[in-house]
Chain A
Amino acid sequence: MKFVDEFRDAELGQVLAGEILATVEPGRHYKIMEVCGGHTHSIYKYGIDDLLPANVELVHGPGCPVCVIPMGRVDDGIALAREPDVILTCFGDMMRIPGSDGSFLDAKAEGADIRMVYSPLDALRIARENPDRQVVFYAIGFETTAPSTALTLKRAKAEGIKNFSCMCSHVTIVPPLRALLDSPDLRLDGFIGPGHVSTVVGARPFEFISESYGKPVVVSGFEPLDVLQSIHMILSQLTEDRCTVENQYGRVVPYDGNLRALEVLSEVFELRPHFEWRGLGFISQSALRLSDAYADFDAEQRFTVPGVRVADPKACQCGEVLKGVIKPWECKVFGTACTPERPIGTCMVSPEGACAAYYNYGRFAREREVV
């Protein structure tokens, strides 16, 4: 398939692995965070970490938007779904995320009308087809996904659709990265930057990482050769004592992002003063809510939602996994009490979550020898 096959060539992968081996300095340990859950998934799916020298360690970052949704927001969604005449729509990834009293899937089994959609456009179509019902789109995702919600809200407003609203839990990528970099228990050498988020925001917003924190960043594509090349680019910067933002995914990512998308986002959304991230706590200006111009479509204003903060389960160490402090298999409940079938923490729910990726690709028994 075009745009895919050429980035999965096994021989080229071996060549890149050899170049990586030739680049690293023996005796030096390299710790690289892949910010995006999509990269985590690619790394496990294609066994990329098996191609790396033992002294190159990959750390899984907070880039799965499902994994960072706190339990209280799940409870809020369920409360909305239980309102009379409400149809709650959401991406499939949200269905099994545990709240304090069950998941969306549990609420659906108990009679709540919760429907999975591929895009908010589908949610808007459901609203058109059900004029006597209130249709709420439960919006999650980083800046990659936020434009789809924004464009759909613009359509709803232009068409005068009154029975459509949005519960917005969109998050932004830079504030949690800054919080991670400020974390005293975190030691990283470089970052594999998020590919499709950068399609919208560009690579430029990550310059603070190299300029203020002295860490290289390489915005990367998702195919195995993309990821290998990005790791090589980061290691080359470290070896050559350089530190900058590079764009490996230039075939898709413009350095300054998609200006039209950024305009649409700023029209429809505004930053929340604070937002709670699962495992990371409250982070200032790290999430979006609807702007005043779209307040009529804000489900949190149209309905009464509990808005109660719920602490993470004590046994769950998703926060430490998200910060890269521990590996998934080092969590006390990994693979025993917490599995993809019966998840305790969100990192085990989404396929892009670090724990689920580890579990599904059989890495849970493996202990990597680190130099």
Chain B
Amino acid sequence: MIESHSRAEDSVPECLPDVGCITCSDEGVEMRALEVDAASGLAVCLDPEGSRSEVDLGIVTGVAPGDVVLVHAGVALTRLESEEAA
């Protein structure tokens, strides 16, 4: 099991007008997978601001470290091209 890097719930900011809904609605954040634990189906991913998050890979297959995934509410919705392949 990957050590959880999730942000503490008390550090969650309120949604701000200039960033839109952080978690819900239809936002997707491109994140780079740093570590992947196939057994648990979880990955540690880095968002564009440099924060690490635990991401569920339950509906996307074949994610490897270095790949960029589109993350919504803690779940990778799809795998985007990896930097190497792009």
Cβ contact within 8 Å between B24 and A66: yes
CB proximity of A368 to chain B, nearest CB, Å: 21
11 A-B residue contacts at CB 8 Å?
A63-B25, A92-B15, A115-B10, A117-B12, A118-B12, A141-B73, A145-B72, A147-B75, A152-B56, A261-B59, A350-B21
Q: Is the CB of B28 within 8 A of A95?
A: no
How many Cβ-Cβ contacts under 8 Å join chain A to chain B? 178
Residues of A near any B CB (own CB < 8 A): 1-4, 36-38, 41, 45, 63-66, 89, 91-96, 115-122, 125-126, 140-142, 144-145, 147-148, 151-152, 154, 194-197, 199-200, 222, 251-252, 254, 258, 260-261, 264, 340, 350-352, 356-357, 360-361
Q: Classify the secondary structure of B's interface with A.
A: loop
Q: How many angstroms from the CA of A251 to the CA of B86 in the assembled complex?
A: 12
Is A125 a contact of B6 with CB atoms below 8 Å? yes
Which chain B residues have a beta carbon within 8 Å of chain A's beta carbons?
Answer: 4, 6-7, 9-10, 12-28, 30, 48, 53-54, 56, 58-61, 68, 70, 72-75, 77-78, 80, 83, 86
Closest 9 CB pairs of A and B: A119-B74, A360-B17, A38-B26, A148-B73, A116-B12, A148-B75, A261-B59, A91-B23, A151-B58
Q: Are A4 and B30 in contact (CB under 8 A)?
A: yes
B9 touches A126 (CB 8 A): yes
Task: State the main secondary structure of chain A at its contact with B.
Answer: mixed
Known: A3-B68, A145-B72, A148-B74. 8 other contacts (CB 8 A): A65-B24, A118-B73, A125-B4, A140-B24, A154-B58, A196-B77, A222-B26, A350-B25
B54 with A144: CB separation less than 8 A: no
Q: Check if B75 sits within 8 Å of A199, measured CB to CB.
A: no
In whole Å, how far is A240's beta carbon from the nearest beta carbon of chain B? Answer: 29
Q: Is the CB of B30 within 8 A of A118?
A: no
Rounded to whole Å, the gap between the CB of A119 and the closest CB of chain B is 2
Contact of A351 among B12, B17, B26, B77 (CB under 8 A): B17
Cβ B14 vs Cβ A95 within 8 A: yes
Question: Do A119 and B23 touch across chains, with their CB atoms under 8 A apart?
Answer: yes
Residues on B with C-beta less than 8 A from A258 are 59-60, 77-78
Q: Which residues of B contact A254 (CB under 8 A)?
A: 78
Closest-CB distance, A233 to chain B (whole angstroms) = 19
A351-B20 in contact (CB<8A) = yes
Q: A144-B77, A252-B70 are in contact. Are A351 and B15 (CB under 8 A)?
A: yes
Q: Which residue of A lies closest to B83 (CB)?
A: A2
Q: When the two chains form their complex, are residues A196 and B26 in contact, meaning their CB atoms are under 8 A apart? A: yes
Known: A92-B14, A144-B26. Contact between A351 and B75, CB under 8 A?
no
What B residues does A152 contact at CB under 8 A? Answer: 56, 74
Task: Let me know if A142 and B26 touch, CB within 8 A.
Answer: yes
A93 touches B17 (CB 8 A): no
Contact: A199 with B70, CB < 8 Å? yes
Q: How far is the CB of A329 from chain B (nearest CB, A)?
A: 17
User: Contact between A148 and B56 (Cβ–Cβ < 8 Å)?
Assistant: yes
A88 to chain B, nearest CB (A): 12
Bound CA–CA A41/B14 (angstroms): 17
Q: Among the interface residues A118, A251, A351, which one has the most CB atoms of the partner chain B within 10 A?
A: A118
Chain A residues positioned under 8 Å from B83 (CB to CB): 2
By a CB distance below 8 angstroms, the chain A residues around B78 are 199, 252, 254, 258
Contacts of A118 in B (CB 8 A): 6-7, 12, 22-23, 53, 73-74
Contacts of A261 in B (CB 8 A): 59, 77
**Of residues A142, A147, A258, which shows the largest number of chain B Cβ atoms within 10 Å of its Cβ?**
A147
- Contacts A64-B25, A120-B73, A121-B56 given; does A350 touch B15 at CB 8 Å: yes
Chain B residues with CB under 8 A of A115: 9-10
